[in-house]
Chains A and B, each alone.
Chain A
Amino acid sequence: AQSVTQLDSHVSVSEGTPVLLRCNYSSSYSPSLFWYVQHPNKGLQLLLKYTSAATLVKGINGFEAEFKKSETSFHLTKPSAHMSDAAEYFCVVSLFSGGYNKLIFGAGTRLAVHP
């Protein structure tokens, strides 16, 4: 069975400091992995996706994530937080079953950025 666990429900950082949002997945085969961001009262925006072409994936707004198969992790990082990064972040694994894909969402991590 496939699942995804976001290890922190809330993360708080100061502006200009690094961001680390942790995600572990469980998959019986090589997964497709995504990070989405949701700002208040908005839909979900795709930050980045793992395509198996490279383990280090660069996304929008300076975010990147590293796929580590040995640790079954896909943590999201950013070197320097900006106030506009305050939002909820979802780690997502794609399950292929019955001829089509279904997304499994993590519970989300709410990121707060303080001045």
Chain B
Amino acid sequence: KAGVTQTPRYLIKTRGQQVTLSCSPISGHRSVSWYQQTPGQGLQFLFEYFSETQRNKGNFPGRFSGRQFSNSRSEMNVSTLELGDSALYLCASSFTDRDQETQYFGPGTRLLVL
């Protein structure tokens, strides 16, 4: 099976702009989670979508939003970009096997805000 794919891989934006990142999960996976990774804060959970519904959310401001489509593909949007939003954004898709969920990560989108 193909792995998790994320587009674009690299992005440069300026403060105040908005950005949309895309994630295609592994075929058959219905859950998609998003994470922000920075050198200072490490890996932080943004939100999770399952069957087009957000079922879990981290502690990020409302500028960060997401959605999931019927084919399980997910998008993440950040509005009014700030310098501190520069980070590697990772998407993970998962399935549950005998009550254990395993997440598989994509290569990430590196966002630089100038």
Contact = CB atoms under 8 A, between A and B. Distances in A.
B56 A100 contact: yes
Given A41-B110, A43-B90, A102-B56, A108 B42 contact: yes
A101 interface: yes
Contacts of A90: 43
Contacts of A51: 98, 100
Chain A interface extent, by class: 20 to 34
Interface residues of B, number: 25
B2 to A, nearest CB: 14
Interface string B86-101: 0000101010101011
B3 to A, nearest CB: 9
Nearest to A102: B56
Interface of B is mostly: strand
A49 interface: yes
B48 A100 contact: yes
Given A103-B45, A107-B42, A43 B100 contact: no
A106 to B, nearest CB: 9
A12 B101 CA distance: 32
Given A105-B43, A108-B42, A94 B110 contact: no
B114 to A, nearest CB: 19
Contacts of A46: 102-105
A94 B104 contact: no
Interface in A35-60: 36, 41-46, 49, 51
Interface in B6-65: 6, 33, 42-43, 45, 48, 50, 55-56
7 contacts: A43-B90, A43-B105, A43-B108, A44-B90, A99-B55, A101-B96, A108-B43
Interface of B: 4, 6, 33, 42-43, 45, 48, 50, 55-56, 90, 92, 94, 96, 98, 100-108, 110
